Structure 1
Amino acid sequence: MNILLTSSARRIDFVGFFQEALKRMGVGGNVITADPDYNAPSLQQGDISYVIPHQADSDYIEAIKKICQKHEVDCIIPLNDWEVPKLADNKKEFKDLGVSMFVPDPEVVDKVRDKGKYRELLGAFEVKAPRSYIDYEDAEKALESGEVNFPLIIKPRNGSASIGVDIAEDHEEMKLAYNNAVKQIKGTPLNDVTYKNPEDNVIIQEVVEGDKFSLDLFNDLDGRFMASFVRKQLEMRAGDVDRCITVHDQELNDIARKMGENLGHAGYINTDVYFDGKDYYVIDINPRFGGGYAFSHQAGADIPAAIIALIAGREVKGDWLEEKPDCELARHDVVVHIDEEKKRHDYSDI
């Protein structure tokens, strides 16, 4: 079985998770890594590694297809927000090549990447989201009427990696943050993964104060809910969770099940949920593996093994879909030598 991890970047741990699962399950094959940067650390870990065009490049999909055809890839697992829309749009073509893709269908991707419509989307199945305003003037009117109050958070509707995110404490800061978000969108790949104008791709949202949780949910390829993982965020660094503790919270697990069953997506979704002392609010939804899964894996979960079993037609073991509660976990950095002797293929050579 050959598994392709796209935009693998720094995710050396994820590559190892899949390599270990293949070995432990006695399934032959390779974990193939692909990234636009020749010096991405994960390319040193992959069994086969490729340097590919950036997700915004017109040759991106063709490069992925070539890799799949050359190595008879069985499944693709994306690790970056920006590539998901393109992969989703081409799911049928990859299916025709015999490649299973753990990516939601395009209509689901469009829904979950639009933070401005979370209240409408999630409210349909009784999951809460903060008040959000797509139009700047609507936010001003809401402040005047007392519907919302400062502080407010300003961010892209389909954002990634905390690009263009800012907090405003007053009207002047809100205007500055809004203009900065538009500028940030214009200068990043966010401008290439949406049909919206930059000025239409910003939301102004009420801030939910309280405990922060990472809530992950996993569906099989047919969109059937299989698992959820909850981690309370204890410390952040550069936009990523740096320290957390796994928790068992029935209400959060119920939220994950509602989302999984109603979205009916294929694959892994990572969300951020805030608790204000009374209610849980879904703040962000990312239709791919989040880096925080590594914490749940360390706490006993094994979604890579579940994915391999699903592709191979084997039984998915229940303990792969569970994490031990009350595990406090923290990240650490690993230094990798970029070995020029390690062969990294260029897709154009295929």
Structure 2
Amino acid sequence: MNILITSTARRIDFVNFFKDAFKEIGIDGKIIVADPEHNAPSLQAGDESYVIPHQTDPKYMDAIYEICKKHSVQCLVPLNDWEVPKLSEHKEELEQLGVSVFTPNADLVDQVRDKGKYRELLKPFDVNAPRSYISLNDAEEGLKNNEVSFPLIVKPRNGSASMGVEIAHDIEELRFAHQHAVQLIKESPLDDATYKKPEENIIIQDVIEGEKFSLDIFNDLDGNFLTSFIRKQLDMRGGDVDRCITVNTPELLDIAQKMGENLGHIGYMNADVYYDGSDYYVIDINPRFGGGYAFSHIAGANIPAAIIALTDDGKVKNSWLTQRDGVELARHDVVVQIDELEEQNIF
């Protein structure tokens, strides 16, 4: 079995998780890694490694098809927010090549990447999301009507890695933050990730203050809920969790299961949840394998093994779907030498 992992970037640990899973299950296979940056550290860890175009490049999908055909790829796992919409749009073509694609379907990807509609999406199964406004005028009207009060958070509706997120404490800051976010979208890949105009791709929300949690939700290839992992975030660095502790809080496990069962996504989904002391609020949903999974893996989970099994014979061990409670974990940096690849570029 050959597995393609895309946008691997710095995630050598993910590549090794899949290699170790092959050994544990006793299946022969290769881990093929692909990234648009020729000096991405993870390219040094793959059994086969490719430099491919960015997801905004018209040749991106051509590169994916070429790799899948050349190596008879049976499983594709993306690690980047911005490539998921494109891969989801082309799932049918990939599946015709015999590839199991671990991404949600395109319509659900559009829904979860639109932070402005989380209340509408989650309310039917009793999961909370912050009050949101999708225009500056609506937010100002909400302030006048005392629906909300400062501080307010301004961010892109389909943002990633905390890009363009600002807190406003008064009306002048709110207007400036909104203008700044619009300009940022125009100058970033976010402008290519949606059909919306930059001015329509901003949300203004209540600021939920309190404890922050990561929820990882994993479904099988038919969209059936399998498991979830919860981590309390203790420290952040560059938009990623740097230190956390695993928790198996019943209320959070219930939220994760409700989301997995009702959204019915395929593969992995990650959500950020805040607890304000009385209620839990989902503030972000990412339709891909989150970087924070590595913490749960060290705490006993083994989703790469489950992915391989689902692609192979469908027999998933319960031991792969659990993490130990109360394990505190932290990231650390390693250094890898960048050697020139034999096949630098798929084209």
> Fold conserved (TM > 0.5)?
yes
Separation (CA, whole Å) in 1 of partners of 2:66 and 2:346: 7
Which residue in 2 is equivalent to 1:284? 284
Which residue in 2 is equivalent to 1:242? 242
Which residue in 2 is equivalent to 1:27? 27
Separation (CA, whole Å) in 2 of partners of 1:344 and 1:186: 34
* Alpha-carbon distance, 1:344 to partner: 3.6
* Alpha-carbon distance, 1:24 to partner: 1.6
Separation (CA, whole Å) in 2 of partners of 1:10 and 1:178: 32
| Residue correspondences, number | 347
Separation (CA, whole Å) in 2 of partners of 1:167 and 1:344: 45
How do residues 10-159 of structure 1 correspond to structure 2 at under 5 angstroms? 10-159=10-159
* Alpha-carbon distance, 1:335 to partner: 0.8
**8 Å Cα contact 1:43-1:344 kept in structure 2:** no
* Alpha-carbon distance, 1:163 to partner: 1.2
Separation (CA, whole Å) in 2 of partners of 1:14 and 1:183: 34
Structure 1 residue ranges, 4+ long, deviating more than 2 angstroms after superposition: 342-345
Cα root mean square deviation, aligned: 0.7
How do residues 266-285 of structure 1 correspond to structure 2 at under 5 angstroms? 266-285=266-285
**8 Å Cα contact 1:81-1:288 kept in structure 2:** yes
1:343 equivalent in alignment to 2:331: no
**8 Å Cα contact 2:38-2:344 kept in structure 1:** no
Separation (CA, whole Å) in 2 of partners of 1:235 and 1:326: 16
Q: Secondary structure at the match of 1:22?
A: helix
Matched letter for residue 272 of structure 1: D
Q: Deviations over 1:97-119 (max 9, x none)?
A: 10010000011001000000000
Separation (CA, whole Å) in 1 of partners of 2:89 and 2:223: 17
Separation (CA, whole Å) in 2 of partners of 1:172 and 1:332: 40
* Alpha-carbon distance, 1:345 to partner: 3.9
Separation (CA, whole Å) in 2 of partners of 1:211 and 1:43: 36
Q: Deviations over 1:22-74 (max 9, x none)?
A: 11211101000000000000000011000000010011011000000000000
**8 Å Cα contact 1:75-1:101 kept in structure 2:** yes
* Alpha-carbon distance, 1:162 to partner: 1.2
Matched letter for residue 346 of structure 1: N
* Alpha-carbon distance, 1:222 to partner: 0.3
Separation (CA, whole Å) in 2 of partners of 1:6 and 1:221: 19
Separation (CA, whole Å) in 2 of partners of 1:248 and 1:15: 27
Matched letter for residue 143 of structure 2: L
> Which blocks of at least 5 consecutive residues in structure 2 are unaligned?
none
> Which blocks of at least 5 consecutive residues in structure 1 are unaligned?
none
**8 Å Cα contact 1:153-1:204 kept in structure 2:** yes
Separation (CA, whole Å) in 1 of partners of 2:30 and 2:179: 46
* Alpha-carbon distance, 1:314 to partner: 4.3
Separation (CA, whole Å) in 2 of partners of 1:13 and 1:172: 44
**8 Å Cα contact 2:155-2:202 kept in structure 1:** yes
